[in-house]
Structure 1
Amino acid sequence: MKKTPANDSIPVFKLYGGDHEWLTPDLLHCERIADRSKLHAWEIKPHRHSDLLQIFYIQTGEACIQLDDSQHTLTPPVLLLVAEMCVHGFNFSSDTEGYVLTLASPLVNQLHTRLGAQQCLLKESAYYAVAHEQGYFDHLFEQINQEYRAHLPGRELLLDALVGNIIVSTSRIAIKTATPAKTQQDKGLEHYSQFSQLLEQQYKSHLSIEAYAEQLNITGAHLNALCRRIAKQSALQIIHERLLLEAKRNLIYTAMTISEISNELGFSEPAYFTRFFKRHCDISPKNFRQKSGTTTVKKP
């Protein structure tokens, strides 16, 4: 068994900001396993995501996977859920076919709330044999892949429905059988995960770092240190990026005015929101909307 590299040497990939920023504020990303794996000789080195859940649907081939400090060989067809902050790496055979569906934490938290008794599904890394449901999952993932790239009217609504279908279907399989990856999180990862959940619930309130830390029963300095260790960013940067994500989504996908978006996101004045957005994105909200190809519908 290979040993997991030391925590500080494991890359942390994020949805928001930096070199890993997605081109649009979509809350999901879909691609074929082969598209990325071929570029790396079918080997993905150990890494983890600070604000993402990944669902791998492996249809053919073979995959040797590392999940934290354990290794597994998966025989298709199989669904693999990789939870937030789980260290994972892959060696795929060259005939591997399938999809990778990546969900951002805001979408994961929405699904988590709606799952009820099955909430643990999205918090634990596990894999599920789906031989009896292969045709069904083939169809679902192909639909998502096509819709993700089509950019047709109603795209976001249909993608949400398809993802919800996959999660519910997986949860029903998990009730019958699951092979969880037994992992141990250090207290810092638990606090970081709790901070992410609190941020998702309260980011529009513009709370201070100390206010979040108090809810976690730690100091603001400790929370900031955790964020820098785990996500390679300060707590304030993470808070700002969550606000910016929602601002971009509203600018692209809604007809809300700049003033309405400012109010929706808890800013006291539209001018303050505009300065905030421009300071972090080097472009005004109005110009961002125009550049994205969307226009505001004027209200009577």
Structure 2
Amino acid sequence: MGGWVVLSTVIPVFKLYGEGQDWATPDLLHCETIPKRSRVHHWEIQAHRHADLCQLLYLHKGVAQIEIEGQSFTLDKPALQVVPPLCVHGFRFSENVDGFVLTLAAPLVTQLHAQPGVSSDVLGSAATYPAGRDRAYLSRLFSTLQHEYQSEQPGRDLLMLSLVNVLGVWVRRQFIERHAAAQAPERGREYFSRFSALVERRYVQHRSIEQLAHEVGISVAHLNVICRELAGQSALQVVHQRLLLEAKRNLIYTNMTINQLAERLGFADPAYFSRFFRRLTGVSPKVFRQQDVSLRR
């Protein structure tokens, strides 16, 4: 597609790209297909910005090369691009492009931000949200919005506002999901750190995983997911490995009997401790100690 060409060192501020006049519609929004405006400009919209307009570009088909604040990237799958006010942006589209551009005037953006499901952080920064399984849903939503925009049916304004609110909720959900995904690894490490500290303090108490998960503040299922991701083991295996480590240390560095060691590690039955040790190591505690003595000779 080649590089971007800026025709002037001064970035223009338009109401809509290619139009010098004021907002050309009595509505607080403008909706059109991507081909309608880009075809006139040979499929390329040069870098520009809008002083008080937010745009939502939905790419349904084709390829779009997008420039946002000097950074370029390519979209070749259905996605929605948020372009906030004063954000320098430009587009270059393939000739088979299909999709929509929804432009929202500042009063409507403010009204959207006042809704419970849409806050200012959603439309206040540039972001790209893949359509994924919602491709058909978004296409119908934008198509209906454009149809109402072009019509003069009773209740037109109310329906358009409702559709814009639905779109705002969709964007908000994507924002929340992305934010949660970005925070998940950090939170997971924090939970694992809490769990590890609890295990270190209480492994001889043989607390249940349910009790430990409750103290960490998450479900058993969530705890197991985090342990497998960060330790490669289930939560129960983490506890068992800590018990096993302590058992090995004592077998090697102390003269405690097997019965004394079992009691020290919280096993009420020495036989159960021996079975536990054998299951994890393949040998009994007695044999393990003998093997270590043999190796040190």
TM-score, with normalisation over the residues of structure 1? 0.55
SS in 1 for 2:95: coil
Question: Which amino acid counterpart does residue 152 of structure 2 have in structure 1?
Answer: H
Residue 56 (structure 1) shift: 0.4
Question: Which amino acid counterpart does residue 162 of structure 2 have in structure 1?
Answer: A
Residue 76 (structure 1) shift: 2.1
Q: State the alpha-carbon separation in 1 of the partners of residues 118 and 112 from structure 2.
A: 12
Which residue is 1:121 aligned to? 122
Question: Which amino acid counterpart does residue 14 of structure 2 have in structure 1?
Answer: F
Residue 115 (structure 1) shift: 4.5
CA 110–70 in structure 1, closer or farther in 2 if over 3 Å, else same = same
Residues 103-160 of structure 1, C-alpha deviations (whole Å, 9 max, x = no match): 0000001111224674201100111001211111111111001000111111111100
Q: State the alpha-carbon separation in 1 of the partners of residues 171 and 5 from structure 2.
A: 28
Cα RMSD of the aligned pairs, angstroms, is 2.3
Asked if the contact 1:67–1:87 (Cα under 8 Å) also holds between the matched residues in 2, the reply is: yes
Question: Which amino acid counterpart does residue 50 of structure 2 have in structure 1?
Answer: H
> 5+ unaligned residues in a row in structure 1: which ranges?
179-300
For the pair shown, the structure with the greater C-alpha radius of gyration is: 2
Q: State the alpha-carbon separation in 1 of the partners of residues 178 and 66 from structure 2.
A: 19
Which residue is 2:86 aligned to? 85
CA 4–168 in structure 1, closer or farther in 2 if over 3 Å, else same = farther
Asked if the contact 1:13–1:48 (Cα under 8 Å) also holds between the matched residues in 2, the reply is: yes
- Structure 1 stretches of 4+ with a deviation exceeding 3 A read 1-8, 115-118
Which residue is 2:176 aligned to? 175
Ranked by relative contact order (alpha carbons within 8 Å, sequence separation 6 or more), the top structure is 1
Question: Which amino acid counterpart does residue 102 of structure 1 have in structure 2?
Answer: T
For the pair 1:42 / 2:16, whether they are aligned, the reply is no
Asked if the contact 2:43–2:94 (Cα under 8 Å) also holds between the matched residues in 1, the reply is: yes
Residue 21 (structure 1) shift: 2.2
Residue 99 (structure 1) shift: 0.3
Q: Percent identity?
A: 43
SS in 2 for 1:46: strand
Residue 74 (structure 1) shift: 1.1
Query: How many correspondences in the alignment?
Result: 176
Asked if the contact 2:118–2:172 (Cα under 8 Å) also holds between the matched residues in 1, the reply is: no
> 5+ unaligned residues in a row in structure 2: which ranges?
180-297
Which residue is 2:143 aligned to? 142
Which residue is 1:54 aligned to? 55
CA 74–141 in structure 1, closer or farther in 2 if over 3 Å, else same = same
Note the 1:1-300 alignment, pairs <5 A: 9-14=10-15, 19-115=20-116, 118-177=119-178
Residue 19 (structure 1) shift: 3.2
Q: State the alpha-carbon separation in 2 of the partners of residues 8 and 156 from structure 1.
A: 40
Residues 150-173 of structure 1, C-alpha deviations (whole Å, 9 max, x = no match): 111111111000000001011101
Which residue is 2:290 aligned to? none
Residues 173-205 of structure 1, C-alpha deviations (whole Å, 9 max, x = no match): 121227xxxxxxxxxxxxxxxxxxxxxxxxxxx
Q: State the alpha-carbon separation in 2 of the partners of residues 59 and 9 from structure 1.
A: 32
TM-score, with normalisation over the residues of structure 2? 0.55
Question: Which amino acid counterpart does residue 124 of structure 2 have in structure 1?
Answer: K
SS in 2 for 1:39: coil
Q: State the alpha-carbon separation in 1 of the partners of residues 5 and 123 from structure 2.
A: 23
Q: State the alpha-carbon separation in 1 of the partners of residues 9 and 121 from structure 2.
A: 27
Q: State the alpha-carbon separation in 1 of the partners of residues 140 and 118 from structure 2.
A: 27
